[in-house]
Structure 1
Amino acid sequence: MADLLGDPTWPQLHRRPCTDTPWPGLQCELAPDDARHLRATRLHFGPDVATPPCRPGARLAAPVLLGLPHLKTLSLFGCFVVADLSSEPIKSQEMRAHAAAAAAAVELPPALFTNASSLEQLVLKSNPGLTGRIPATLSDLRSLRVLSLSQNGFRGEIPPELGRLAALQQLDLSYNNLTGEIPEEIGGMESLSILDLSWNSLAGGLPAALGSLRMLEKADLSHNELAGPLPASMAGLGKLQYLLLQENPIGTAVPAAVVGSLRRLQVVGMSGCGLTGPIPRGAFAALASLAALSLDRNRLDGPIPASLAALPRLGRLNLSQNRLAGEIALPAEFVARLGRRLDVRGNDELCVGRGRYGGAQASYLGAPPCAAAGGGSGAAVGGTSSSPVESSAGAAATAGRGFRVYGIAGMFGGMVYHLLMLSCIPFYETMF
């Protein structure tokens, strides 16, 4: 505690933190086998009113957890920040030493988790000074349900040992400097419902082991260097609702058999994935819950399937910046309902049939009138397409941030499943 707070007197002032004056950031529970004793079970530091902030020069020493064997939740927000010593003049030697301590990078000591078998939630977020590799010893925390290491400075590969965390329900390693491939061992996380590896430098193909995560509801692998195609095993992810793959060099058509099998999908994001070929006409037909679909900034060609308008819950559709061609033959009612949430701009070969849409609708579609009665530069939108290509989401990156903003805030109070998933719902309101 003294290492985190920068207060060497803390152990003397708080010899019994559970029974003395209540200390912000610490929660205690009655021992199940002895109601006369209290145990420290939750420890939270963060830049908010309810909890104390870490002090400059904070450290993570092994005794933090070794002395709290009953700890269930450890949350550290904004504790380890790399200071900029040149941003403003530092007048005194003491202030300079203070700032230099804050600037020093911190690594997670592997021994930190040696005696933490009770830990269920580990949330270390927004600590850019927290660097080094993710310790493989995290795999010893067999009770862990939430592991969030987002927005730190971790580097290196994802430890394959993490696959031993069979009870883990949420894994968030987003916004770090992780490299290498997604390990096949990730398939051992059989309870995982939320997986966020976005905004790293992960490379290689998507492992077939992803198909073993049968409880998965959200997969955000966006903003990496991952290559396609999607493994066929992912067709078995029957609970998946959010598939975010944008800004990866997938470079192929998305297998229609995979996406079309994911009947609970609500958001599909594959913007900027290098997808080619036509949009397959029936790939999304069975996705009755689909609310947001983004395929922008790819190399898709051919007509826009009119069948997209039959999706009852579709509220956002971004097909901009592709090579789509032909007359836009989406029903006028569909175009009016989506309004500016329908984006087909940047497809030079698309055109609008005369009299099909009102002036305002035709204007924001951004396509010229078809030159001839036959449909200008190509077939009407309802044209058939048998090549397998689909999904993309430009602002699904915004979605990823939305998940984190809502989810992390609730982690200290308990499991954040509902907050994380509910935060997905309004995400597509900010797309485009």
Structure 2
Amino acid sequence: MASPPPHLVPFLLLAMAHLSAPQDVSDGAAMMDGQELLGLFEVMGTLLEDPNWAQLHPHPCTDTPWPGIQCEVGQEQDPTFHVTKLHVGPDVVNPPCKTSAILSQSLLKLPYLKTLPILSCFLTTPASLSSSLFGPISSLEQIVFKSNPSLSGEIPTTFSQIPRLRVLSLSQNNLHGGIPKELGGLAGLEELDLGYNHLTGEIPQEIGGLASLAILDLCWNDLQGNVPPTIGNLLSLQKMDLSYNNLVGSVPPDMGHLHRLVLLDLSHNFLSGPIPETLSGLKELEYFLLADNPINTRIPLFLGTVEKLTVVSLSGCGLTGQIPTSFSSLAHLTALSLDRNGLSGPVPQNLGALPHLGQLNLSQNRLSGELSFPQDFVHRLGKRLDVRGNKGLCIRNHIYENMSMYLDLDSPACLDSDQSSSGPWEQGTGADDKRLKPAWFDGKGSSDASDVYGGLVLQWSMGCNLIVILMGFL
């Protein structure tokens, strides 16, 4: 019989002592199952740097607790403690994971485990998600592996066999391969976050089977092909981020069925126009980010009727025609980015009456005519008002005299012939859409992954009412 690895010997000796000790529960004091404790010691021994962890926490559910472990007492017929949450990462406690950390098969000895977050743990030694660890006998409800650069391999199809799974978050790892179509069978899944990996292939049509899904984040991958029309079946969806991929084709009209959608980010792909009129039915939509796609059409007039819009980013979309005056009806608008397009005609002066507008970028277009925003609007926005690179624009009012560094107009006054010139254009970086995201939007943001485990990154009530904290502008 092979000897156990040296680093596990203290764990095993302590567990054997626990197993051999009598467990008196006559006084009502719940103990921990010995086999389960042994499995916990083995899992922690393959993850943590501290070789004395078992000695320091011989009773992790009672007398010697550890911040990353939560336990629950079983039913009346089972008056013992069971581990229900195992959270490992630098956000919980030091010492952090060892450089040679792996995920042990002993995880299967924790049959009552519901929540498994592993954060910034697999940093150097290659690790993968074994399909044998996840399957139909699992009690897991929330699986979160985040910020593990050495966690590679493919997403196990056996995730689809976990009957109670509500959260599957595998962002900021080094995963590759395709999105398993089998995941579409997880009817109770509420969050699917696979962002910031190296996933390839197409978004599977089966994703439309995720009837309970509220968050879908596939950003920053190498996904290809069309956005599947079945995505319109996700009637509970509140956030969808497909940005920074290689998606092609048009925006499916079926997205107009997503009446609870609050954030839609399709930016930095290769999607073409037109933007479907069916999106006018997205009455809860607040964030509409479509920057850097070859839309190459006019701005759809219906955007001015989506009353809850807060942030609109259509930078670098090859848009033509005029800026719709209906934008002035968007009373909640805080940021509007229409830069790096081919827009022409005048700038609607009513945009200056929007009470919450804090960023307006109209730079590098073909806009013309007189710029006539109110004085308080111009001074309120300051550098966040950018109309540079529009040679046909001119100013008449003296309030712009001290704002030329922001407006980039060499001729401060409108001539009768509306003739003016502009200084050199500073090439845009496409970074506006980065600043426009709410705090909970970015997979690399400051929101603690542990917030996900108590509910979702989004906080909703039984009626799925979204609470969005708007970010400030730089």
TM-score (norm 1): 0.82
Whole-angstrom CA distance in 2 between matches of 1:305 and 1:327 = 10
For residue 280 of structure 1, what is the aligned residue in structure 2?
Answer: 300
**Is 1:232–2:258 an aligned residue pair?**
no
Root-mean-square deviation (CA), in Å?
Answer: 3.0
For residue 80 of structure 1, what is the aligned residue in structure 2?
Answer: 122
Instruction: After superposition, give the CA deviation of every residue in 1:46-67 in whole Å (9 maximum; x if it has no partner).
Output: 1125475221101012212x11
Whole-angstrom CA distance in 2 between matches of 1:249 and 1:337 = 31
Whole-angstrom CA distance in 2 between matches of 1:146 and 1:397 = 26
- Partner SS, residue 309 of structure 2: coil
- Partner SS, residue 301 of structure 1: coil
Matches within 5 A, 1:136-151: 136-151=157-172
Q: Is the 8 A contact 1:324 1:350 kept in 2?
A: yes
Whole-angstrom CA distance in 1 between matches of 2:248 and 2:293 = 9
Greater RCO, CA 8 A, separation 6+: 1
The change in CA–CA distance for 1:215 and 1:375 in structure 2 (over 3 A counts) is farther
Whole-angstrom CA distance in 1 between matches of 2:351 and 2:251 = 34
Q: Which structure 1 segments of 5+ residues have no match?
A: 83-103, 378-391
Runs of at least 4 residues of structure 1 off by over 6 A? 370-377, 419-423
Whole-angstrom CA distance in 2 between matches of 1:355 and 1:182 = 46
Whole-angstrom CA distance in 1 between matches of 2:233 and 2:432 = 25
**Is 1:426–2:426 an aligned residue pair?**
no
For residue 25 of structure 1, what is the aligned residue in structure 2?
Answer: 68
Q: Is the 8 A contact 1:125 1:149 kept in 2?
A: yes
Q: Is the 8 A contact 1:217 1:240 kept in 2?
A: yes
The change in CA–CA distance for 1:123 and 1:354 in structure 2 (over 3 A counts) is closer
2:262 to 232, 241, 251: 241
Q: CA deviation at 1:430?
A: 4.3
Instruction: After superposition, give the CA deviation of every residue in 1:187-232 in whole Å (9 maximum; x if it has no partner).
Output: 1110000000000000100001101100000000000001131112
For residue 180 of structure 2, what is the aligned residue in structure 1?
Answer: 159
Whole-angstrom CA distance in 2 between matches of 1:160 and 1:151 = 21
Whole-angstrom CA distance in 1 between matches of 2:167 and 2:121 = 19
The change in CA–CA distance for 1:153 and 1:29 in structure 2 (over 3 A counts) is same
Q: CA deviation at 1:352?
A: 3.9
Instruction: After superposition, give the CA deviation of every residue in 1:314-367 in whole Å (9 maximum; x if it has no partner).
Output: 11100011110111123164368525x0110111x2124265654983984334
**Is 1:267–2:310 an aligned residue pair?**
no
Whole-angstrom CA distance in 1 between matches of 2:376 and 2:284 = 36
Whole-angstrom CA distance in 2 between matches of 1:351 and 1:357 = 18
Greater gyration radius: 2
For residue 45 of structure 1, what is the aligned residue in structure 2?
Answer: 88
Whole-angstrom CA distance in 1 between matches of 2:373 and 2:130 = 65
Q: What is the identity percentage for the equivalent residue pairs of Structure 1 and Structure 2?
A: 39
Q: CA deviation at 1:37?
A: 1.3
Matches within 5 A, 1:199-348: 199-255=220-276, 257-281=277-301, 283-331=302-350, 333-334=352-353, 338-339=357-358, 341-347=359-365
Q: CA deviation at 1:287?
A: 1.0
For residue 112 of structure 2, what is the aligned residue in structure 1?
Answer: 70
For residue 96 of structure 1, what is the aligned residue in structure 2?
Answer: none
- Partner SS, residue 132 of structure 2: helix
Instruction: After superposition, give the CA deviation of every residue in 1:50-88 in whole Å (9 maximum; x if it has no partner).
Output: 475221101012212x11000000010011012xxxxxx
Structure 2 counterpart of 1:395, one-letter code: K
The change in CA–CA distance for 1:118 and 1:265 in structure 2 (over 3 A counts) is same
Q: CA deviation at 1:184?
A: 0.7
Structure 2 counterpart of 1:181, one-letter code: E
